[in-house]
Amino acid sequence: MMHVLDDHDATLVRTLCELMVPGSGRVWPEVYIDAVLARMPQEDRSATLAAFAALAPVATSPESLSARAFTGEFMLVRAFACDAFYSDFLAPGAPGPSAYAEIDFTLPLAARIKKDWSYLGVTS
**93 or 119: which carries more pLDDT confidence?**
93
Of 18, 21, 2, give the one whose Cα is nearest residue 10: 2
| Torsion angle, alpha carbons of 10, 116, 121, 94, to 10 | 30
Lowest-confidence range among 87-91, 101-105, 115-119? 115-119
Give 60's DSSP letter: T
59 pLDDT exceeds 70?
Answer: yes
Confidence of residue 113 (pLDDT cuts 50, 70, 90): low
Expressed in percent and rounded to 5, the helix, strand and coil fractions of the chain are 60, 0, 40
pLDDT tens digits, residue range 75-90? 999 999 999 999 889 9
Identify the pLDDT of residue 88: 84
111 pLDDT exceeds 70?
Answer: no
Identify the pLDDT of residue 124: 62
Lowest-confidence range among 34-43, 48-57, 72-81, 87-96? 87-96
Identify the pLDDT of residue 21: 96
Q: Work out the average pLDDT over 90-103.
A: 89
